[in-house]
Structure 1
Amino acid sequence: MPQLSPPILAKATHNFSTEDLLGTVGFGRVYKGSFKDDPPTIVAVKSICTIERLRHKNIVLLLGWCHEDEHLLLVYEYMPNGSLDRYIGKCHLDWETRFKILTGLASALLYLHEDSGNPVVHRYIKPNNVMLDEEFNAHLSNVGLARLLQNDAAVTTMLAGTPGYLAPEVGFIGKSTPESDVYSFGMVAIKGYH
């Protein structure tokens, strides 16, 4: 088998053609590929649907990544005011700023759930995943942990989320939904602004 690289995998799958599409799973699509060995080697190639394609003014921008050995490093834009959890119960934010933060977070969720093309469930809506820029605009982070909603792909045996922010029904049905994200949003609003 040749040393694998993106151009070689693209060639093996006829440039990830729909004719070679085997199915859609989790965060990506699986394609049939073949290498011109003797005898030919038939493989399945998973193309990751990266979350980096998500672009919205209230989502932290993924600038780049590096994957070497066991290390995956993600590079995001810098948010000078840190995360929302730095301010809850420790620092007074006026109501105008609070409103701006909550509407920014709501805008990011609307984009993920309805306007991004494929619905995406974040699953980790909590104050330390709400980053604040220099003007205290909210930017949702850790979108890389989100799940694309494709044919109940969000069903899991492991609960994903944070106690206190996790919707109760997720424990019963084992599935995160847009509604469970909205529940988490509500918990951020209640805990952060009581």
Structure 2
Amino acid sequence: MAKIHELADVQTDHIGQNTFVWQFSVILKGAVIGDNRNITSQVFVENDVVIGDNVTIKPGVQIWDGVTLEDNVFIGPNVTFTNDLVPRSKQYPEVFAKTLVKKGASLGANSTIIAGNTIGEYALVGAGSVVTRDVPNHHVFYGNPAKHTGYITENALMVSLNFEDNNGRKYEFSNNKLIQIS
């Protein structure tokens, strides 16, 4: 059973088990939210949004139509998603751009994700970064605009652009996954 704070406005019936929604959050009717999520205070979730299982969303995040968060995603405080590449007051596109954050990815505090991009599995977007293009699986992107600065394993071990961690272990990509080879 979901636990919804009395000061939250949750309009959807599609909310999973063991999900916590904290005060001052708003979740609109069309949103689909999986199991075991932590949606902290002051989060806004629009209608055409899908949030997978085991997702954490920190305060101050707005998730607009067209955004999908797969399982085990971390969304840091004040992360900003966009969904309209040419916004105008009271003028809406026929279809909003789709943004996908794949399983295990993490978005650092105050990062901005421009509409229409995909954040790959287990990727990391650093705090304050502005993502203007797709981020591949296991890649680390930082900056404005965000640039490829390294790699990251499923267990959050940082790997340099030379495919080496701080302990000198070597890595490579195999079947689109970052694996240790020595």
**Which TM-score tier does this pair reach, normalised by the shorter chain?**
under 0.3
**TM-score, with normalisation over the residues of structure 2?**
0.24
Bigger proportion of residues as strand: 2
**TM-score, with normalisation over the residues of structure 1?**
0.23
Structure index of larger Rg: 1
Q: Which has the higher contact order (CA 8 A, sep 6+)?
A: 1
Bigger proportion of residues as helix: 1
